[in-house]
Structure 1
Amino acid sequence: MITEWSAYDMAQRLDDLAEILHACVADGASVGFILPHTQAEAKSFWQGLLAEVDGGARRLYVALDQGQPAGVVTLITAMPGNQPHRGEVSKLLVHPGHRRKGLARQLMHHLEAEARRIGKGLLTLDTRTGDAAEPLYSALGFQTAGVIPGYCLDVHGERYDSTTYMFKRLD
């Protein structure tokens, strides 16, 4: 089951969100953090998004597995004035203990439907080149716009990984 969480929902379940993020980073996800990564850092990240969600600049969709938060994805809706038709996919995360159940695909389908509903005709995202998420995005109809080499440090802080920018037209 996929549901949209308000800032209030997030505030009530910060520990659950932090656990998903923390577990994904510990498993090697390239989502902006370097190991060692603490639960407190993960919680702080989500706390930092409360105002964006409350103000409507970002939407948070949560996948529940047997009633427990197991995955998340955000849709950034606040875009510059010349890009009102675009949304940005950010932080698609599925807890390692809940993978291989189709939750990432369900989250993305829900996000796309919501993006269409609010008038977004174009989605963009970036993902570490060669990451397990890249074929998922391709299978969902995202096209590669380009690759930027040496974009960010890997989760261990040992090398620079490339990132692949992708897009999907919804109209």
Structure 2
Amino acid sequence: MPSRRTASSTGPSEDVDLFADWQRRADFPNAVDAVIAAFEGEGFDVVVDLRLETFARLHVSQAADPDEQHRVELVANWRAQPPVEMQIGPVLHPDDVMAGKTDALYNRAAARDFIDIDAAITCGRYTAEQLCILAAEADAGFDRQLFAQMLGANSRFDDQGFHRLRARTRPGRGDARTVPDLAGRTVKPRV
């Protein structure tokens, strides 16, 4: 299962995401069992929070510190690109990562989603247009107009929350609340 870690990852993650190819979704239940057994074999406690046909969310902790849990999500889903081989093994292609991150911003719009998209654009690897194309290819329901409206009208987050998250994940970067809109202008969501 390729992991979410890619060459485009720039900050620490609070969870681990493991992906299986949609073509092998029939193998997914056995893969989840193998991951659980591997954690338990290394002495970790595993709590299955949610288990579906092609998705599982686990909370993993060490017996000595049960309050410090780490989320591990496993998912079988469609990807446009084959995995990229890295030293740690196969990882998601950056285009698939960014399609997922753009979709997360579109559907969930958490502060971390804004920061992820901001990082992809400010580092110069992707433009807002490219991210919209990737999201539309991955999700036929992606609506650019709705996405643009959502970006311009977001008032759920205060600056302090963004700055705390930014400092923890990507120190020294600009204002994560400003993102290029679909026309290339800079938009700062209303507070």
TM range (shorter): 0.3 to 0.5
Q: Which has the larger radius of gyration?
A: 2
Higher strand share: 1
Higher relative contact order (CA 8 A, sep 6+): 1
TM-score normalised to the size of structure 1?
A: 0.35
What TM-score, normalized to structure 2?
A: 0.33
